[in-house]
Amino acid sequence: MKKSIFYGIVFLLSSQFSFGQSMSEVKLTDAWKDKIYSLAPEKPTFPTTKPKKVLVFSLHTGFVHWVNPHTEEMFKILGQKSGAFDVTSSTDIEMFEKANLKEFDLIVLNNTNSKPQYRNLFVDKLSEDQHSDSVAVWKKAGELEKNLINFVKKGGGLFVIHGGNTTFNNSQEFSELLGGSFDYHPKQQDIKVRLVDPNHPLVQAFPKEGFVHTDEPYFYKNAYENLDFKPLLYFNNAEIEGQRKEKELKDGVTYVAWIRKDGKGRVLYSSPSHNAQSFENADLLQFFLDGMQYLVGDVKVDDKSIGK
């Protein structure tokens, strides 16, 4: 009986929030923004004082996610409606100069995909100047990346969304900061997302039995194997279709979202979402807002690494 109820819930969630194995693009209209506003939390879950300053950074040089402008607007809506965050958006890499980073409490990397050649967003952008010197380009790119890493270590928050993990995908230091690097993903599909610990404060928005989410199931490499983070959400590997045959996983789990402490700062990685339709799930909006509060220090939770 309990099993039938569970799968009934899964079916309802799937039919409401998923649209097969690929989702068509949704136009960013006032009507869509009004819908997200109506679904967003009325107030922050945890006590807060003055609004914290957030930078949503959405530059991409590699794969273009059509959801980027929707994700940017979603974060603005969360900040505005809750009153907990003052959100600014940019695609200018000068925002990663030390003086500019100091203006923010939290940086969001919104699908900041880099090109496959170097897998370094800043190198890609700086190389657009045809008169640039490659040595100078790599030096400057390294400086800006280091600024971001130090921003977190000194107390800043970093929220990385979906393909934002490819920003510096070949950088071991960035991989360790984030908790892993992008490896590959199979086709979009309905994923049964489960909660690692239903009692953890940052997943209270979701049903204890989990939910169905349509997305690309991401697999990871580099620092991921160290599991130097506190996992929040996962999927069972055996349930994922279209894995690479040479890497196919028949058992175990892969994490969908996690948090980690780094120095005085905090990091949250969330694989959702490749699609704007995902934001029509009020539970996911609550998860994002709660995660932002964790990242700026409004709430202390168990973020002890399972790898340690």
β-pairing, 52-57 vs 106-110, is parallel
Q: What is the pLDDT of residues 38-60, one digit of tens each?
A: 999 999 999 998 999 999 999 88
Strand, helix or coil for residue 54 = strand
| Token output for 240 | 């994922």
Q: Which residues of 40-76 are buried (b: 16+ CB within 10 A; e: fewer)?
A: bbeebbeebeebbebbbbbbbbbeebbbbebbbbbbb
Between CA 131 and CA 15 the distance in angstroms is 53
Domains of the chain listed by start with CATH number: 2-295 (3.40.50.880)
Q: Which of 90, 87, 34 is nearest to 60 (CA)?
A: 90
Confidence bin at 131 (pLDDT 50/70/90): confident
Task: Assess whether pLDDT exceeds 50 at residue 267.
Answer: yes
The CB density around residue 28, as the number of other CB atoms within 10 Å, is 16
Q: What is the pLDDT of residues 226-259, one digit of tens each?
A: 999 999 999 999 999 889 988 889 899 999 999 9
The CB density around residue 1, as the number of other CB atoms within 10 Å, is 5
Tell me how far the alpha carbon of residue 284 is from its chain's centroid. Answer: 12
Between CA 228 and CA 177 the distance in angstroms is 9
Is 147 within 8 Å of 99 (Cβ atoms)? no
Between CA 21 and CA 67 the distance in angstroms is 16
Average pLDDT, the chain: 89
Task: Name 76's Cβ contacts closer than 8 Å, sequence gap at least 6.
Answer: 56, 87, 89
Q: What is the pLDDT of residues 66-85, one digit of tens each?
A: 678 999 999 999 999 999 99
Bond into 58 cis (ω within 30): no
| Token output for 127 | 């190389």
Confidence bin at 19 (pLDDT 50/70/90): very low
Q: What is the pTM of this model?
A: 0.89
Task: Assess whether pLDDT exceeds 80 at residue 13.
Answer: no
% of the chain at pLDDT higher than 70: 92
Comparing 98-102, 149-153, 242-246, 286-290, the range with the smallest average pLDDT is 242-246
Q: What is the pLDDT of residues 183-228, one digit of tens each?
A: 998 998 999 999 999 999 999 999 999 999 988 899 999 999 999 9
